[in-house]
Amino acid sequence: MNIDNKFIRELETLVITSYEEAQKLEKNIRKKELNDIVTDIDIYMENKIIDKIKENFPNHAIYSEEKNEIIGESEYTWFIDPIDGTINFSTEIPLFSTSIALKKNDETIFGFIYDYSNHTVYHAIKGKGAYCNDKKIHVSNKTELSDSIISFCLTSHYNIEKINDVLEVEKSLASKVRGLRLIVSTAIELAWCAEGKIDGCINVKASAGISSAAGKLLVIEAGGKVTNIQGNERQKIDTMLVSNGKIHSKLVNAMKYALFIGNTTEVIEINNSIFSNSNIYLAGKAYSQAIAGAKSGLNCKLMTVVSGLKKSELDSLIIEAKKYNIDTSYIYISNNIANDIKLVFKNEIGEKIYEQDILNGTANAITEDMICQNEDVIKNSAYVICQTKIDIKTLNRIVEICNLNRVPIIVTPSRPKEISIIIDPNNKKLIDKFNMMICDEYEFYEIFGNKYKKDDILKQYGNRLILITDKEGIQYFDGIKMNKIYVTNYEEIQKVGMKDIFIGNFIRILIEKENLNVAIQEALEIIIK
């Protein structure tokens, strides 16, 4: 078969003529799916385009968007969306298009888009490039998200779950990109991406991509990239992430989030300076790690339980979290339980010299039922970072969800007197189900005891156990050699919260760079600079 410039010109003339003829019709707006609509103009134009294709390619099959059926049977199938952006069209918002694609089996080999907003024709033939009004086009050269404009799809026929998914994407990207745009004509968005007007497009609703087939070919032929929003090759029904290719991995990572799970502690801090004073505030491993990660640009969600009895402190914690765009939807308020309480003694220059747990309250309020109710947020995480200061059944349930859904789980031990349960044979060696554990020397010996050499334990858990020690800095075994990263300013990590700052930054860099050595080194540099 042969698609040449003559056929493309005929298709252009047909689309324009059909649209002009259709203006004489009543729109006669009718509902399709939820709040999506179809008009008589959609149907009129589709019939005209089908007739033209049958005239030129009588043996080809045709997928009818409005009839939702395939006419005929062939290795070649045409996909027609006569008005992509019907809601825009119906209210005279001039952002709508006609999209036509030809597939050979499952591979798109021809794409045609007519953009009514500026009377522009886009077309692409597989292996021959992408064109706008017969002039070859290329995607943009943007390499940074901060310079990029991204469109995303939010249509009236999305259910509430998908609407929330879109808003999550918007929240993730809003502070990272130059601008977000809501156009809602997928074909136009993809054509504009191919032309370099915008730098990426995102659709979080899984679909077969019928109305986007032509545009995806345009983007690929213009030098861009098309995947699902996880950055993997699209399946037949899948989400869609399209970009100029240069920002693709950064877009994928920007939409990933880390979920921090743990208790919130009421800290009573006593300062032994000459002006002896005390300070009371809410903190905790998960909270401190999420704050540190969020400050460095990590998309964070925090799951914890806080006593609502001291409203001013609760408000302060949530305000602080929201200031750094942490998703606080999973902070639960319990009015019938006390917060954990911890005493922290500090010396004259503000360094921690001693700490003691006084009360375990909200640690036990993170229940197995709470985890089950929030299974989706766990299984869709890039990483789950969990402390051990919660009920063992709850911890086991978190690990089970992560393992089943291949979500990496990183554990940061706490409550030292009880963390030996991690390797209790009766608990089926919970540590073997973690992807990684990060602990200090005290926690290390509480878990493994003193009968083993550190190096032997680290070798047993290659790339999965990171040890932070007073004298030797960061230690881990990478499967080949023992790595020891010495820290010249090591006392910084020993101050209250410094290890948590390391972990928060470490997770963010690990997601971005996907390299353990780089993540450790760069996270340390942030702390000791």
Task: Let me know: does 378 contact 401? Beta carbons within 8 Å.
Answer: yes
Alpha helices in 258-304 (DSSP H): 285-295
What tokens appear for 239 in the block?
Answer: 């989400």
Q: How confident is the model at residue 466 (pLDDT cuts 50, 70, 90)?
A: very high
* 66 pLDDT above the threshold of 80: no
Task: Let me know: does 326 contact 294? Beta carbons within 8 Å.
Answer: yes
* 310 pLDDT above the threshold of 80: no
Q: How confident is the model at residue 68 (pLDDT cuts 50, 70, 90)?
A: low
pLDDT value of residue 165: 81
Please name the residues in contact with 330: beta carbons below 8 A apart, sequence gap of 6 or more: 259, 301, 302, 303, 304, 374, 377
pTM: 0.72
Share of the chain above pLDDT 90, in %: 42
In whole angstroms, give the CA distance from residue 291 to residue 120: 48
Up-side HSE of residue 506: CA atoms within 13 Å toward CB? 21
Between residues 167 and 34, the one the model is more confident about: 167
* 528 pLDDT above the threshold of 60: yes
What tokens appear for 60 in the block?
Answer: 């080809």
* 17 pLDDT above the threshold of 70: yes
Max Cα-Cα span within the chain: 94
* 258 pLDDT above the threshold of 80: yes
* 354 pLDDT above the threshold of 60: yes
- To 10 degrees, what angle do helices 311-323 and 285-295 make? 30
pLDDT value of residue 303: 94
Q: How confident is the model at residue 101 (pLDDT cuts 50, 70, 90)?
A: very high
User: Average pLDDT for residues 482-500, to the nearest whole number?
Assistant: 72
pLDDT value of residue 274: 52
* 149-163, 352-366, 505-519 — most confident range: 505-519
* 505 pLDDT above the threshold of 90: yes
Between residues 487 and 458, the one the model is more confident about: 458
Domains and CATH numbers, the chain: 5-255 (3.30.540.10), 258-528 (3.40.1190.20)
What are the start-end ranges of the E strands in 128-208?
A: 130-132, 135-136, 149-152, 179-181, 200-207
Between residues 446 and 416, the one the model is more confident about: 446
* 278 pLDDT above the threshold of 80: no
Burial of 315 (0-12, 13-18, 19+ CB in 10 A): exposed
Q: How confident is the model at residue 450 (pLDDT cuts 50, 70, 90)?
A: confident
Task: Let me know: does 438 contact 466? Beta carbons within 8 Å.
Answer: yes
Average pLDDT over all residues of the chain: 85
Task: Let me know: does 455 contact 478? Beta carbons within 8 Å.
Answer: no
pLDDT tens, position by position, 189-248: 999 999 999 999 999 888 888 789 999 999 999 999 999 988 889 888 889 999 999 999
Q: How confident is the model at residue 507 (pLDDT cuts 50, 70, 90)?
A: very high
What tokens appear for 65 in the block?
Answer: 């968007």
Q: How confident is the model at residue 311 (pLDDT cuts 50, 70, 90)?
A: low
What are the start-end ranges of the E strands in 221-361?
A: 225-227, 238-243, 258-261, 265-271, 277-283, 300-307, 331-334, 340-346, 352-359
Share of the chain above pLDDT 70, in %: 89
**Long-range CB contact pairs, 114-118, < 8 A, 24+:** 114/12, 114/15, 114/16, 115/187, 115/188, 115/191, 116/19, 117/188
What tokens appear for 36 in the block?
Answer: 């999506």
* 393 pLDDT above the threshold of 80: yes
CB atoms within 10 A of CB 440: 18
User: Average pLDDT for residues 100-129, to the nearest whole number?
Assistant: 95
User: Average pLDDT for residues 280-305, to the nearest whole number?
Assistant: 88
* 395 pLDDT above the threshold of 80: yes
Q: How confident is the model at residue 317 (pLDDT cuts 50, 70, 90)?
A: confident
* 421 pLDDT above the threshold of 60: yes
User: Average pLDDT for residues 297-321, to the nearest whole number?
Assistant: 79
pLDDT value of residue 341: 81
User: Average pLDDT for residues 21-29, to the nearest whole number?
Assistant: 72
